[in-house]
Amino acid sequence: MSISRRGFLKGLMASSASALIGPSLLTATKAFAANPIGDTWKISGSHWGAFRAKIHAGVVEKIEPFGFDKNPTDMLKGIRGIIYSSSRVRYPMVRYAWYRDYLKADPATRGDNRFIRVTWEQALDLFYVELERIQNEYGPWALYAGHTGWRQTGQVHSCNNHMQRAVGMHGYFVKKVGDYSTGAGQTIMPYVLGSTEVYAQGTSWPLILDNSKVIVLWATDLHKNLQVGWNCETHESYAYLDQLKAKIDAGEIRVISVDPVVTKSQQKLGCEHQYINPQTDVPMMLAMAYTLYQDKKHDQAFLDTYTLGFDKFLPYLTGEGEGGDGIAKTPEWAEQICGVPAKTIRELAHLFADNRTQLIFGWGIQRQQHGEQPYWMGAVLASMLGQIGLPGGGISYAHHYSSIGVPDSGAAGPGSFPLNPDDNKKRIHQNQDFNGYSSTIPVARWVDCLLEPGKKVAYNGKTVTLPEFKMMVFSGNNPWHHHQDRNRMKRAFEAVQTVVSIDFTWTATCRFADIVLPACTQFERNDLDLYGSYSARGVLAMHKLVDPLFQSRTDFDIMADLCDRFGQKKAYLRGMGEMEWLESLYEECRTSNGDKYPMPPFAEFWQKGSVIFNQQQTFVRHAAFREDPELNPLGTPSGFIEIFSRKIASFNYDNCPGHPVWMEKSERSHGGPGSKKHPFWLQSCHPDQRLHSQMCDSTEYRETYAVKGREPVYINPKDAKKHGIRDGDLVRVYNDRGQLVAGARVSDFYPQGVVRIYEGAWYGPIGPEIGSLDTYGDPNTLTQDIGTSKLAQATSANTCLVSIEKFVDKAPKVTAFGGPTEVK
Ligand SMILES: Nc1nc2c(c(=O)[nH]1)N[C@H]1C(S)=C(S)[C@@H](COP(=O)(O)OP(=O)(O)OC[C@H]3O[C@@H](n4cnc5c(=O)[nH]c(N)nc54)[C@H](O)[C@@H]3O)O[C@H]1N2
Ligand SMILES: Nc1nc2c(c(=O)[nH]1)N[C@H]1C(S)=C(S)[C@@H](COP(=O)(O)OP(=O)(O)OC[C@H]3O[C@@H](n4cnc5c(=O)[nH]c(N)nc54)[C@H](O)[C@@H]3O)O[C@H]1N2
Ligand SMILES: [Mo]
């Protein structure tokens, strides 16, 4: 390290007392300890975008959007409330019954929220002792530390990396594959289009705006979901959406939203709405394909040149010949299922074929049983239209996500703190014997491991043997929000011995854990991040706003001290502290960007707060393949678009055959299975005013949308009237799996038979018993925990029926917020 760099770092560290003494000593006594630095403005960034914060007397007083961001999200108003939430994890805590009775603790006490306070020394010792015990008594198969999630932004402090690296330096553990976002999509699409598609750059908005005549928003709500990004979000997509609106108004582009509800995007764009019954998109697409084929509107030349297996799919489509099921997938057939008039289906098929049409799919549609099918069928439809690889045509699976479609700079972003140990040979426990269990599981099946250890499960052409977890560690994710079916989870958690949760806010995951460690928020540490996930528009400094509150510490420090207990601290840190990591990640990025993307030296960057790359390049998805499919084959087994997949067919799965098909759901509204008993489809979409469960604990902001202190449930006026429910009433939403209290929001934007409760509403049961009423309104109290199919085994959260009634009893107190009950 050069002298000037070291000198700079020293100066910087000295200005922050906590960096020298360690945050726990400083903040042990007073929560919002005054930091005598007067008013300052600092720059930081988040999933919600970049901002400037005014700090007065050691308190974050005001948040203002960053100048570059022309479309900041309303959610910036919730940030202060995250830092100063009444739900903050203040001290290391241990579950009372577990502390007292340890492995003999009555399983029924889990979730009673009674905890005792311990010191950091005790907490980390306990954590370490448990890791030792599990590795010695069982083996790596008994430890699950593979979960990931929406940890706050920043590359140095990426908390999941910290946890997995630290636990990994101690020994091996079970990992996961896939995610809740796109589990079905990312598994099926490599067989069909050769990449996950969901995490791939899409055709640039300027090219769509210039070339598309028709844009189909198929189950996607751009305006709602582009408010957040995986890296610090720039919100540049919104400028293109404004241009799109102007083109709609001028009659230059037709935009059609295919969705059961009137989305925020439809409202903002003023575009057309095509209502469809929930979970029935495949019949509609099949009928469009049928129409194209019957009317000779399909692009046979495209099918011949770029695809394989249309001939094998055709008997299913027409119902005739070998492989046909005798049912022609006509518009009349589809209308009975999807509720879209046959005439409309025909008109739309012709409209798409006669015009440059860009199909844009969201992800909620694959978070349902057989969620692989609408994506595959979408690709087949797009192939028949023959526009894949043209600007403004073809198919996209991700324009609602993290600025996909914004022309990107092409620059490299900063790397992150490493996820894995540097040297596997130095792990304390070398045992890699998983005792016949699988060492990796499809993520949404982790609760099954607790309930049915040893069970063999088909997954993506393989057989997974569910491991028997005795200990689980969660950091940077909130499984007691994100997983389905709370009461099933309660049963499952009776089998586990030790759960560690590391978080800054007292989520339901903390409530159901044994050891809870208080991390600090991203606003209490120094970091840096890529600005604009897929657009790579720059690099952003994340200045620490205030010192860690209460006894919270950075994940960096927590895990370093865990490693200290088994002699690995130095190897873990590679001998570097927070600011040294920051500088080294920045400098690596600067080196790889070279002269093409000039970046100032670190000290200058840190002081200025950001670097913006001005280059922007446009892109057409699948254009190279279209240009020359031999030279630029897709990543599918054949290199072509696979309408029929021999590989998938070879798996012989009843619920995912060799070409896309319509399969009835286990629960479906509008006359489908189960709808006589529980008539409403519950869609648990992504929240407009939260990032999942994050910010739900931001009290003032929550009150801007809560109804009588509860999460809203959106319902159609006629349905509300039928059940004697008025806007603002408390209601009970229930099915055979669970029950919750929510606040009714009566709205014309929702069709009859559909209700919405946003995911991420905090779980607050009255008590730990199975079936206990949830007092705030977590939709996963009601959702179904089944895999999409044997192919992806992904979440099917959106296959869920419920009933709803006015809540007539005395309203229970909301128990979701405010932390644990401390036992002295
Ligand atoms: N019913 C239903 N369920 C769903 C979905 C749905 O559509 N419907 N969507 C699914 C999807 S797509 C997703 S991505 C998941 C999201 O599931 P998660 O990623 O688990 O959701 P978050 O609420 O973002 O949880 C992140 C947690 O990490 C904590 N955290 C953040 N930063 C840090 C940090 O720096 N250090 C530590 N130690 N902790 C930190 C936060 O406080 C929070 O508790 O939910 C899934 N669940
Ligand atoms: N504000 C905000 N933005 C976010 C997030 C957040 O928490 N808050 N989370 C981010 C993350 S992690 C993810 S994974 C993405 C999620 O992105 P998506 O999964 O695409 O988002 P959702 O809002 O769940 O669903 C989008 C639309 O699908 C529709 N839909 C659901 N089922 C069906 C169906 O069967 N047929 C049809 N035609 N339409 C259907 C819904 O009505 C909704 O309008 O969002 C990201 N953006
Ligand atoms: Mo997600």
pLDDT band at 441 (very low <50, low <70, confident <90, very high): very high
Kindly report which listed range (35-49, 536-550, 640-654) carries the lowest average pLDDT score: 35-49
Residue 481 alpha carbon to ligand 1 centre in Å: 7
pLDDT at 25 over 50: no
* 626 compared with 24, residue with greater pLDDT: 626
Report the pocket of ligand 1 as residue ranges, CB < 6 Å.
149-152, 157, 159, 180-181, 367, 475-478, 481-482, 502-505, 507, 519, 522, 555, 684, 686, 691-694, 759-760, 779-780, 783, 797
Atom of ligand 2 nearest to the CA of 280: 35
- 692 CB near ligand 2 (under 6 Å): yes
Helix or strand or coil: residue 174? Answer: strand
pLDDT at 33 over 50: no
Residue 449 alpha carbon to ligand 3 centre in Å: 22
**253-274 confidence digits (pLDDT tens):** 999 999 999 999 999 999 999 9
Within 10 angstroms of residue 535's Cβ, the number of other Cβ atoms is 28
- 49 CB near ligand 2 (under 6 Å): no
Cα 235 to Cα 756: distance, rounded to the nearest angstrom: 26
Element (DSSP H or E) covering residue 538: strand 538-542
Output the residue whose Cα is nearest ligand 1's atom 29: 476
**Stretch 640-668: mean pLDDT, rounded?**
98
Residue 473 alpha carbon to ligand 3 centre in Å: 20
In this structure, is the dihedral angle defined by the CA atoms of residues 150, 156, 161 and 163, taken in order, positive or negative? negative
**324-348 confidence digits (pLDDT tens):** 999 999 999 999 999 999 999 999 9
**Stretch 370-382: mean pLDDT, rounded?**
98
* 622 compared with 12, residue with greater pLDDT: 622
Q: Which of 463, 469, 433 is nearest to 449 (CA)?
A: 469
**Stretch 12-38: mean pLDDT, rounded?**
39
Cα 216 to Cα 662: distance, rounded to the nearest angstrom: 21
pLDDT at 37 over 70: no
Residue 776 alpha carbon to ligand 3 centre in Å: 22
Residue 18 alpha carbon to ligand 2 centre in Å: 41
pLDDT band at 38 (very low <50, low <70, confident <90, very high): low
**Stretch 408-412: mean pLDDT, rounded?**
97
From 285, 681, 683, 698, give the residue whose CB has the most ligand 2 atoms within 8 Å, as the site to mutate: 683
**Contact call for residues 801 and 680 (beta carbons, < 8 A):** yes
Please give the distance of CA 533 from its chain centroid, rounded to a whole number.
Answer: 14
- Give the pLDDT confidence score for residue 13 in this predicted structure: 35
Looking up tokens 């007392």 gives: 17
**54-65 confidence digits (pLDDT tens):** 999 999 999 999
From 163, 366, 369, 482, give the residue whose CB has the most ligand 1 atoms within 8 Å, as the site to mutate: 482
Q: Which of 429, 422, 421, 427 is nearest to 140 (CA)?
A: 429
Element (DSSP H or E) covering residue 353: helix 342-354
- 148 CB near ligand 2 (under 6 Å): no
Residue 357 alpha carbon to ligand 2 centre in Å: 22
Q: What are phi and psi of 657, to 5 degrees?
A: -75, -170
- 222 CB near ligand 2 (under 6 Å): no
Element (DSSP H or E) covering residue 289: helix 281-294
Helix or strand or coil: residue 305? Answer: helix
Q: Which of 501, 500, 515, 505 is nearest to 116 (CA)?
A: 515
Query: What distance, in Å, lies between the first and last C-alpha atoms of the chain?
Result: 49
Residue 475 alpha carbon to ligand 3 centre in Å: 16
- 181 CB near ligand 2 (under 6 Å): yes
Residues 6 or more apart whose CB falls under 8 angstroms from that of 434 comprise: 139, 140, 141, 174, 467
pLDDT band at 11 (very low <50, low <70, confident <90, very high): very low
Residue 459 alpha carbon to ligand 3 centre in Å: 21
Cα 62 to Cα 52: distance, rounded to the nearest angstrom: 8
pLDDT band at 484 (very low <50, low <70, confident <90, very high): very high
Atom of ligand 2 nearest to the CA of 182: 14
Q: Tell how strand 739-746 and strand 680-683 pair up.
A: unpaired
Cα 707 to Cα 729: distance, rounded to the nearest angstrom: 8
Output the residue whose Cα is nearest ligand 2's atom 46: 225
Looking up tokens 């759901």 gives: 665
**156-204 confidence digits (pLDDT tens):** 999 999 999 999 999 999 999 999 999 999 999 999 999 999 999 999 9
**Stretch 587-591: mean pLDDT, rounded?**
98
Output the residue whose Cα is nearest ligand 1's atom 8: 684
| DSSP label of 592 | H
Residue 684 alpha carbon to ligand 2 centre in Å: 8
Output the residue whose Cα is nearest ligand 1's atom 38: 503
Cα 362 to Cα 375: distance, rounded to the nearest angstrom: 10
From 259, 668, 783, 800, give the residue whose CB has the most ligand 2 atoms within 8 Å, as the site to mutate: 259
Q: What are phi and psi of 62, to 5 degrees?
A: -155, 145
- Give the pLDDT confidence score for residue 444 in this predicted structure: 98
- Give the pLDDT confidence score for residue 10 in this predicted structure: 36
Output the residue whose Cα is nearest ligand 2's atom 33: 365
Angle of helix 331-338 relative to helix 342-354, nearest 10 degrees, comes to: 110
Within 10 angstroms of residue 39's Cβ, the number of other Cβ atoms is 10
Residue 147 alpha carbon to ligand 1 centre in Å: 11
**Stretch 511-518: mean pLDDT, rounded?**
98
- Give the pLDDT confidence score for residue 17 in this predicted structure: 34
pLDDT band at 323 (very low <50, low <70, confident <90, very high): confident
pLDDT at 750 over 90: yes
What is the phi-psi region of residue 664: left when phi exceeds 0, alpha when psi lies from -120 to 50, beta otherwise?
Answer: beta
Residue 475 alpha carbon to ligand 1 centre in Å: 10
